């Protein structure tokens, strides 16, 4: 099939960007979206032009590096799928496809489709961990965790930190990302000791980074490639209220 791509090109954070149009010819259904871009880039380079720059690494949907908005939807709108796992069999011959970077003030564009997501790392550094040093920990089976709690913690821990939730939100809120980590750690017995401090510090770092407020429209959960559910946010709000009440 043949496709027309309208791709966002931007030299750096301080330069204005614009859409450029490219033709993608002889696209095969078994290609992933990124492989289709690879082929377009090969043609650009061979013609002495700069390729379209985008982030990707594992290309199996787990590292969270790839970050494209396709036709207005982060990761392209297929349930539970990152853009590296989105295959061309979902597109039609002759279609025009727009490709943009994540758009959110706390994620400035570095180049073309590449954005800076260091704000997510800063939130984890503020409290997204359990404070244990290496060594001296009790036997793994000394802390029983019910299967139900463990499964729920795993559901939350599945977040890949890609930032699609922020890109989808009209307020660029990071609540789904932050609540997934808070839920994962606050649910487990190992994480209870610093539960209040954790949520208070992570939320305040999130606010300082400039992420917007949550109005529970659910657009974040709708695009999440790991299908993190919206109730994580409710759980975090409860933990946060308790922590503030206790004076954290």
Partner 1 sequence: MKLDAKIPSGPLPQKWDKHKFDIKLVNPANKRKFDVLVVGTGLAGASAAASLAELGYNVKCFCYQDSPRRAHSIAAQGGINAAKNYRNDGDSVFRLFYDTIKGGDFRAREANVHRLAQVSVNIIDQCVAQGVPFAREYGGLLDNRSFGGAQVSRTFYARGQTGQQLLLGAYQALSRQIGLGMVKMYPRTEMLDLVVIDGQAKGIVVRDLVSGQISSFAGDAVVLATGGYGNVFFLSTNAKGCNATAIWRAYKRGAAFANPCYTQIHPTCIPVSGDHQSKLTLMSESLRNDGRVWVPKRKEDCGKEPGSIPEDGRDYYLERKYPSFGNLAPRDISSRAAKEVCDEGRGVGPTKLGVYLDFSDSIKRLGEDKIRERYGNLFEMYERITGENAYQTPMRIFPAVHYTMGGLWVDYNLMSTIPGLFVLGEANFSDHGANRLGASALMQGLADGYFVLPYTIGNYLAGTRPVKQPTSHAEFKRVETEVTERTKRLLAIQGKRTVLSLHRELGKLLWDKCGMARNEAGLKDALQRIPQLREEFWKNVIITGEAGSVNQALEYAGRVGDFMELAELLCTDALMRRESCGGHFRTEFQTEDGEAKRDDENFSFVGAWEYQGADKPPLLHKEPLVYEEVHMSTRSYK
Residues 56-75 that bind partner 1 (CB under 8 A): 56-65
Give the three-class secondary structure for 215. Answer: coil
Residues 83-122 that bind partner 1 (CB under 8 A): 85-87, 89, 110-111, 114, 116-118, 120-121
Please report how close the Cβ of residue 4 comes to partner 1 at its closest, in angstroms: 19
Residues 10-29 that bind partner 1 (CB under 8 A): 11-12, 28
With respect to partner 1, which residue has the nearer C-beta, 12 or 208? 12
Report whether 8 contacts 19 (CB < 8 A): yes
Number of residues that bind partner 1 (CB under 8 A): 78
Q: Is residue 209 a contact point for partner 1 (CB under 8 A)?
A: no
Please report how close the Cβ of residue 58 comes to partner 1 at its closest, in angstroms: 4
- Distant-in-sequence, close-in-space partners of 20: CB < 8 Å, separation ≥ 6: 6, 7, 9
* DSSP H stretches of helix in the chain: 33-46, 118-127, 147-157, 164-168, 175-187, 195-208, 219-223, 231-245
Stretch that binds partner 1, among 78-86, 96-104, 213-221, 230-238 (CB under 8 A): 78-86
Please report how close the Cβ of residue 197 comes to partner 1 at its closest, in angstroms: 12
CB-based burial label for 83 (10 Å; 0-12, 13-18, 19+):
buried
- Distant-in-sequence, close-in-space partners of 165: CB < 8 Å, separation ≥ 6: 173, 174, 175, 176, 177, 220, 221, 223, 224, 228
Show the site string, 136-175: x = touches partner 1 by CB under 8 A, - = not. Answer: -xxxxx-xxxxx--x--xx--xx-xx--------------
Q: Is residue 134 a contact point for partner 1 (CB under 8 A)?
A: yes
Q: Is residue 132 a contact point for partner 1 (CB under 8 A)?
A: yes
Report whether 25 contacts 116 (CB < 8 A): no
């Amino acid at each position: 099939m043949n496709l027309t791509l309208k791709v966002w090109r931007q030299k750096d954070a301080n330069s204005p960007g614009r859409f450029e149009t490219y033709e993608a010819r002889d696209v095969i259904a078994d290609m992933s979206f990124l492989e289709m871009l690879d082929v377009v880039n090969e043609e650009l380079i061979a013609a002495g032009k700069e390729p379209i720059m985008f982030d990707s690494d594992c290309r199996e949907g787990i590292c969270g590096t790839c970050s494209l908005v396709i036709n207005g939807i982060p990761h392209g709108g297929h349930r539970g799928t990152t853009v590296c796992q989105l295959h061309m069999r979902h597109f039609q011959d002759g279609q025009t496809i727009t490709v943009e970077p994540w758009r959110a003030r706390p994620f400035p564009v570095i180049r073309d489709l590449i954005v800076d997501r260091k704000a997510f790392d800063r939130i984890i550094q503020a409290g997204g961990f359990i404070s244990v040093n290496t060594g001296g920990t009790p036997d793994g089976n000394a802390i029983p965790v019910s299967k139900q709690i463990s499964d729920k913690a795993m559901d939350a821990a599945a977040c890949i930190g890609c930032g699609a939730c922020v890109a989808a939100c009209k307020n660029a809120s990071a609540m789904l990302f932050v609540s997934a980590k808070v839920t994962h750690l606050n649910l487990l017995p190992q994480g209870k000791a610093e539960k209040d401090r954790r949520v208070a510090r992570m939320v305040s770092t999130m606010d300082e980074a400039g992420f917007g407020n949550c109005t529970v429209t659910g657009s974040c959960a709708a695009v999440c490639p790991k299908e993190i559910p919206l109730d994580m946010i409710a759980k975090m709000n409860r933990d946060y209220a308790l922590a503030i009440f206790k004076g954290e």
